[in-house]
Amino acid sequence: MSQLLQQLVLGLLLGGVYVSVALGFSLVWGILNIVNLAHGAFVIIGAYITWVLFSRLGVDPFLSLPVDALVLFALGYGLQRGLINRVIRAPLLFTFLLTFGINLVIVSLLLLIFSPDFRSVTPRYSGSGLSLGSVTIPYIGLARLGIAMLLALVLWFVLNRTRIGAGIQAVGADRDAAQLVGIDLRHVYALTFAIGAAFAGVAGGLIGLQQSITPTAGDPFTLQSFAVVILGGLGRVSATIAGGLLFGLIQVLGLNAPGLGAGYSNAIAFAVLVVVLAFRPQGLLGRLA
Amino acid sequence: MDMKGKLRVTLVASAMLATACGGAATTPSPSIGSTLVIGSAISLTGSQAKEGNLAKQGYDLWYDWIQAQGGITVNGVKHPVSLIYEDDQSKPDLSATLLEKLITAEHAQFILGPYGSAATATDAVIAEKDGIPMVEANGAAQAIFSKGYKYTFGVLSPANKYLTGVIDMAATLSPKPTTVAMLSANDNFSVEVAKAVVDYAPSKGMQVVFNKTYPAAAPDVSGLLSQVKPLNPDIILNSGHLAEAIAINKAAKDLNINAKIFAYSVGPSTPDFVDALGKDANFVYDGSQWTPQVKYSPQFYLSVNQYVLAYKTKYNATAAPDYHVAESTAACLALQKAMENAKSLDPAKVRDALASLDVMTFFGEIKFDSRGINVFKPMVVEQIQGGVHYTVFPPDVANGQPQYPTPAWSQR
């Protein structure tokens, strides 16, 4: 029983990582209709910034998160305005190809700058945790989950309670109508992409605390973000939260499924995905387009 | 392409130099023969770029040395070497394709192996088909050698030896550990490592209380470790890769799991492991193909100390080379010695010379069994103590004592 409880806790904590990674991905996909294949690379850039600040200047990894966000915001804005905007109205395949290419370029640049060495952010308090009976809750995991929820709240607030958020939603609903009422499309596009990238950067900063950072470590996050959005549904912050937490739970429980080797964990996770796609294609909390 | 260009320039320069020296010498020196082309499709980018580049460093160290000698002497003729790389991007299928290209388009006469068991297995098919000898140093799965291939030789100890040394060492310690938990990635190399331990541990009076696989490069291993915790095993073993070894060590601390021995098949021997974990890396054991402390008396090439020095000089490194570098250099040595012994560059004759090779190098003995595996070289056990690697087993090559048992996380 306590074993199950421990795994539920770990699953939720892992889900926190997925939520933070998928928020930006979901936003960009939902509003701009871009499946950003460079999303995982953005995450890893954030991780490297945190690592550099931590290892060179001794900055606490949690304090470097705003820096991650700012740098990635600027990078995202520039990339969208200068590059991706040129194919924004082209068929989906074009943006696919373009973001795929951007991903390759970023990974190769990271390889040149940082070499393929494994980097890791291990602050002093790493490894301490809260013990509740036989259940252990690692502090860092808890903080990560908390920050993921905070990010989700910020995104929800920006989208629903601010003028710029209204503009973003309007563009997502009908770009031509949005332009007619005087919204600067190019600015809103770039801004949306920049916010998505900034969120990826923060997620990266959090991820460096858990796993090793290498130039290629970002690729799985793009896939996982995709899975989270499919699972939860597109176009709502709450859907990303549900999808992320659920995906974390499925992964951890799948790893420990009785009677099956843990090697089946990915198979179980993606089998659930197929079932969701078949019976509820809009995702658990998604809206039908 | 750039690299190849550079190699060719070096090659021409060194050939000219050799000719000049040859002309000046009074004693008859070997004449200069045709350039020998050696190819390798290795992971320079992609998920195994780290390990692939280490292997390349090992190849390049030998290349520099052999070029300084003027080439490989085969039957009285010195053949300069051209070493050509292709980047397989850490994709085993691509490795085979590129190897084919190296053989057909670049006319590679001999092959040095790629990085990893999976790529080695696909490359072995090509080597066999084309009858080109391949000496590999980075594929330890015995599955590669179970297909009856005649042209593939591995200089490293096979996968089943990786962690059994840790069990042997554990059996000599007091209080003797009695329970083992095994966590293994689900690739063929890691599974072989794990299976060997599970088969071997009972013969040393140890009981395997947990044995599970996880998907390679698993995002999170803490769920799996949380299952291990209530079993409270004396020994926690991982057969996997660097990233997972780091993740498991972190998760063990997160969950406050205290074993007497933590040992990982791959990872702790690289400097990255200590960099990543800081003092949490202390007390961790690993099975290693080679350490800079081993005591072997080589018949040719460099001594262990000279090798470490050569590495530090060339790569401007403060740390000694890890075993990926050393085993890769050893593959070059085996190939070189086989050509010298064969007194021919004929692929079939060099293959036969490889099959009957028995030579002592800085890396240890290189001798192949009928399958092409070097079962004659022992694995050693290392432990990280105060951030430094010490060889702790077997005692005759060790330069330190095991620090045992590992203190609890709360008492470090």
Pairing state between β B31-32 and B358-361 = unpaired
Contact A120 B276 (CB under 8 A): yes
What average pLDDT does chain A have? 89
Q: Which amino acid is at B59?
A: Y
Give the separation between CA B210 and CA B172, rounded to whole angstroms.
22
pLDDT at B29: 67
Cis-peptide into B394, omega within 30 deg: yes
Q: Which amino acid is at A260?
A: L
pLDDT surpassing 60 at residue B13: no
Q: Residue A94, class by beta-carbon neighbours within 10 Å (0-12 exposed, 13-18 middle, 19+ buried)?
A: middle
Tens-place pLDDT, residues A55-87: 999 999 999 999 999 999 999 999 999 999 988
Q: For residues B152 and B119, state if they share a domain.
A: yes
pLDDT by residue for chain A (289 residues), tens only, comes to 778 888 899 899 999 999 999 999 999 999 988 999 999 999 999 999 999 999 999 999 999 999 999 999 999 999 999 999 988 888 888 999 999 999 999 999 999 999 888 888 888 887 778 888 788 888 888 999 999 999 999 999 999 999 999 999 998 888 889 889 888 999 999 999 999 999 999 999 999 888 889 898 898 899 899 999 999 988 789 999 999 999 999 888 887 776 666 667 778 888 888 998 898 888 888 765 5
pLDDT at B25: 42
Q: For residues B194 and B205, state if they share a domain.
A: yes
Contact A252 B223 (CB under 8 A): yes
Pairing state between β B235-239 and B179-185 = parallel
pLDDT surpassing 60 at residue B81: yes
Global confidence as pTM? 0.79
Q: Which amino acid is at B191?
A: V
Q: How many residues does chain B have?
A: 412
Give the start-to-end residue ranges of the domains of chain A: 20-218
Helix (H, G, I), strand (E, B) or coil at B289: coil
Q: Taking Cα atoms as reference points, which of B32, B30, B38, B37 lies closest to residue B15? A: B32
pLDDT surpassing 80 at residue B103: yes
The residues near B17 (Cβ < 8 Å, ≥ 6 apart) are none
- B222 — contact with chain A (CB < 8 Å)? yes
pLDDT at B28: 55
Contact A216 B275 (CB under 8 A): no
pLDDT at B319: 85
- B358 — contact with chain A (CB < 8 Å)? no
Contact A220 B217 (CB under 8 A): yes
Residue A207 backbone dihedrals phi, psi, to 5 degrees: -70, -30
pLDDT at A91: 85
| Residue B180 confidence class, pLDDT cut points 50, 70, 90 | very high
Higher-scoring residue by pLDDT: A260, B408: B408
Residue B182 backbone dihedrals phi, psi, to 5 degrees: -120, 120
Q: Taking Cα atoms as reference points, which of B153, B144, B175, B137 lies closest to residue B326? A: B137
Contact A118 B230 (CB under 8 A): no
Q: For residues B93 and B233, state if they share a domain.
A: no
Q: For residues B103 and B224, state if they share a domain.
A: no
Q: Which residues from chain A sit within 8 angstroms of residue B409, using beta carbons?
A: 127
- Identify whether the C-beta of residue B264 lies closer than 8 Å to the C-beta of residue B237: yes
- Closest residue on chain B to A112 (Cα): B45
- A120 — contact with chain B (CB < 8 Å)? yes
Q: For residues B133 and B277, state if they share a domain.
A: no
pLDDT surpassing 90 at residue B370: yes
Pairing state between β B77-79 and B152-154 = unpaired
Domain count, chain B: 2
Order across the sheet with B152-154: list the strands: B81-87, B36-42, B110-112, B134-136, B152-154
Q: Which residues from chain A sit within 8 angstroms of residue B276, using beta carbons?
A: 118-120, 122, 212
Which pair of structure tokens corresponds to residue A249?
A: 């739970």
Cis-peptide into A91, omega within 30 deg: no
Which pair of structure tokens corresponds to residue A245?
A: 């937490």
- A131 — contact with chain B (CB < 8 Å)? yes
Q: Residue A239, class by beta-carbon neighbours within 10 Å (0-12 exposed, 13-18 middle, 19+ buried)?
A: buried
Query: Among the listed ranges A273-282, B73-82, B112-121, B217-226, which one has the minimum average pLDDT value?
Result: B217-226
| Residue B10 confidence class, pLDDT cut points 50, 70, 90 | low
Q: For residues B50 and B108, state if they share a domain.
A: yes
User: Residue B262: which CATH number?
Assistant: 3.40.50.2300
- Domain encompassing residue B218: 161-289+379-411
- Identify whether the C-beta of residue A217 lies closer than 8 Å to the C-beta of residue A203: no
Tens-place pLDDT, residues B220-274: 788 888 889 999 999 999 998 888 899 899 889 988 999 999 999 988 988 889 9
Q: Let me know how many helices (H) and strands (E) chain B has, helices first.
A: 12, 17
Give the separation between CA A117 and CA B270, rounded to whole angstroms.
10
Task: Report the DSSP beta bridge partners of residue B383.
Answer: B285, B390
Give the separation between CA B360 and CA A138, rounded to whole angstroms.
50
Tens-place pLDDT, residues B279-322: 899 999 999 999 998 888 899 999 999 999 999 999 999 888 98
Q: For residues B41 and B100, state if they share a domain.
A: yes
| Residue B17 confidence class, pLDDT cut points 50, 70, 90 | very low
Q: For residues B229 and B317, state if they share a domain.
A: no
Q: How is chain A split among helix, strand and coil, in percent rounded to 5?
A: 70, 5, 25
- Angle, nearest 10°, between helix axes B117-130 and B92-104? 30
Cis-peptide into A215, omega within 30 deg: no
Q: For residues B15 and B100, state if they share a domain.
A: yes
Which pair of structure tokens corresponds to residue B207?
A: 């009981």
pLDDT surpassing 60 at residue B329: yes
Instruction: Mark which residues 226-265 of B lie under 8 Å from A by CB.
Output: 226-227, 229-230, 242-243, 246-247, 250, 253-256
Over residues B169-178, the mean pLDDT reads: 94
- Identify whether the C-beta of residue B209 lies closer than 8 Å to the C-beta of residue B164: no
pLDDT at B19: 46
Q: Which residues from chain B sit within 8 angstroms of residue A136, using beta carbons?
A: 226, 254-256
Q: For residues B56 and B152, state if they share a domain.
A: yes
Note the ipTM here: 0.77
The residues near B64 (Cβ < 8 Å, ≥ 6 apart) are B314
Q: For residues B215 and B241, state if they share a domain.
A: yes
What is the CB neighbour count within 10 angstroms for residue B131? Answer: 12
Is residue B374 in a domain? no
Give the separation between CA B232 and CA B117, rounded to whole angstroms.
33
Is residue B372 in a domain? no
Q: For residues B328 and B342, state if they share a domain.
A: yes
- Identify whether the C-beta of residue A197 lies closer than 8 Å to the C-beta of residue A221: no
- Identify whether the C-beta of residue B300 lies closer than 8 Å to the C-beta of residue B66: no
